[in-house]
């Protein structure tokens, strides 16, 4: 029998430098990056929601809606242009103060 002309694979430098769990590290890194992206998206959503301050707008909307409901109950007529003008005005005033 003739000796094997090629050295064993473990002696090749390219093969010996690859860690045994290299694929797992790549998938872990990818999932970590995905989690960071998701975290950034939720942070951005929270920031926008905090900037808009939705509970503050209820202070403007409810009195106008209640006054409109009383007016409609007394007159039986819903004047949409006036209602929407007052509603938009109240929201813009609150947005301007913030």
pLDDT tens, position by position, 58-76: 888 899 999 999 999 999 9
Mean per-residue pLDDT over the chain, rounded: 75
Helix (H) or strand (E) holding 95: helix 80-97
**The pLDDT of residue 93:** 87
Count of beta carbons in the 10 Å neighbourhood of residue 55: 7
Tokens 């909307």 belong to which residue?
Answer: 61
47 lies in the same domain as 78: no
48 lies in the same domain as 75: no
Question: How many structural domains is the chain composed of?
Answer: 2
73 token code pair: 């109950």
61 lies in the same domain as 97: yes
43 lies in the same domain as 58: no
- Expressed as residue numbers, the domain containing 39 is 15-52
* pTM (2 d.p.): 0.47
65 lies in the same domain as 88: yes
46 lies in the same domain as 80: no
30 lies in the same domain as 62: no
In the predicted model, is pLDDT for residue 25 greater than 90? no
Domain-located, residue 9? no
Q: Which residue has the higher pLDDT, 96 or 63?
A: 63
**The pLDDT of residue 96:** 80
72 lies in the same domain as 42: no
């Amino acid at each position: 029998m003739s000796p094997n002309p090629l050295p064993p694979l473990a002696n090749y430098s390219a093969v010996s430098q690859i860690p045994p769990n290299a694929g797992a590290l790549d998938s872990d890194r990818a999932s970590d990056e995905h989690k960071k992206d998701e975290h950034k998206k939720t942070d951005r959503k929270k920031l926008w929601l905090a900037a808009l301050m939705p509970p503050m707008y209820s202070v403007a909307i409810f009195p106008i809606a209640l006054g409109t409901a009383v007016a409609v109950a007394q007159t039986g007529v819903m004047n949409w242009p006036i209602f929407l003008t007052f509603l938009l005005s109240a929201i813009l005033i609150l947005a301007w103060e913030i």
